[in-house]
Amino acid sequence: MIDLRSDTVSKPSPEMRRAMAEAEVGDDVFGEDPSVNRLQELAAQVLGKEAALYVPSGTMANQISIKVHTQPGDEIIMERTSHPFNSESGGLAALSGVQVNLLDGQRGLLSAEQVARVIRHDNDVHNAPTRLVSLENTHNRGGGTVYPMDRIKEIHDVARAEGLAMHLDGARLMNATVASGLQAIEITRYFDSCTLCLSKGLGAPVGSVIAASEDFIRRAQRYRKMFGGGMRQAGILAAGGIYALENNVERLADDHLNAKLLAERISGAPGMRIEPSNVETNIIYLQLDPDEARVDAPGLAAAMWQRGVMALVMGRYGMRLVIHLDVSRDEVERAAEIMCSILEAR
């Protein structure tokens, strides 16, 4: 099967598995796992922060970060299609007791003017005071969109002037750095806290990191324990993350080329609505024209499945395809041929 549902389906390579099998371990709740400690030091260095914390998932990384930044009853600003609001099981309400001021972005991106317009302070008893702006880079539901640096800077300047903190959901931050040719630190310097998923395009089986100041990470450690994420000999897992950061970052450029190739190859198929120039990284969202396409998205996905290609259906006419390190260029070409032939059949 060619699995294009998500980059989370990527599996550890034999070399990564060897690094994991040979990892030195200890009890990480005691802070004694040398491999976890090494991963955290490496992540802090790569992300340009004082400290980092290894956690089981990207969801926990976001939820802990927002818990550290806020008090119940606070308000945070996010784009409407952002992951923490849409795909983290109501954690913002359940775990942090915050309310979210949702703004409509363009392909997931906000502007500084939009943010500035909705900030409120505690000088009026009616207000839920705004504490935090949370951005996502790359933006998943926006289509793997890379935040332009000037936008980030402008939003940061507004947030700073108003005394707000900045959080980055950097699940796919390395896709953003590779696509833009920037170092991670050039992006993360505008944020008080940032996350990074090791288990997506970077190919590790488990885990994410939070990077921030030492004080922030100390507080995050307590919430990791509270949320049930304190792991013991986690170095076995962390070793996969170290391997991923040391070996699997630059190669993300191949995934981006393959995603663009796939988008271009299928863009001419009957009923296909897709703009290849919007494919900036490894994620493709496509729409089918309800009048022109001979199938809807569940129908297309079912026909693709029969021929060995897996995709994620997003509503009646939408579909998501994600490229990752377990998908070769040949497989991308084959997937494109299969999709075109399904849509062209009469």
Ligand X SMILES: *Cc1c(COP(=O)(O)O)cnc(C)c1O
Tell me which residues touch ligand X (CB under 6 A): 57-59, 62, 83, 136, 140, 169, 171, 197, 199, 208
Cis peptide bond N-terminal to 138, omega within 30? yes
CB of 136 vs ligand X, minimal distance in Å: 5
Of 292, 17, 284, the C-alpha closest to 142 is: 284
C-alpha–C-alpha distance, residues 104 and 84, integer Å: 15
CB nearer to ligand X: give 171 or 245.
171
Instruction: Give the contacts of 71 (CB within 8 A, at least 6 positions apart).
Output: 97, 131
CB of 345 vs ligand X, minimal distance in Å: 33
- Which residue is nearest to ligand X, using beta carbons? 58
CB nearer to ligand X: give 62 or 180.
62
CB of 255 vs ligand X, minimal distance in Å: 14
CB nearer to ligand X: give 2 or 210.
210
CB of 62 vs ligand X, minimal distance in Å: 6
Long-range contacts at 286-289 (CB < 8 A, ≥ 24 apart): 286/318, 286/319, 286/320, 286/321, 287/317, 287/318, 287/319, 288/317, 288/318, 288/319, 289/317
CB nearer to ligand X: give 11 or 121.
11
Q: How far out from the chain centre does Cα 222 lie? A: 24
CB nearer to ligand X: give 62 or 258.
62
CB of 331 vs ligand X, minimal distance in Å: 22
Amino acid identity for residue 122 in this structure:
D
CB of 56 vs ligand X, minimal distance in Å: 8
**Maximal CA-CA distance, the chain:** 65
Measured in degrees and rounded to the nearest 5, phi and psi for residue 253 equal -60, -35
CB nearer to ligand X: give 54 or 271.
54
Q: Is 304 exposed, middle or buried (0-12, 13-18, 19+ CB in 10 A)?
A: buried
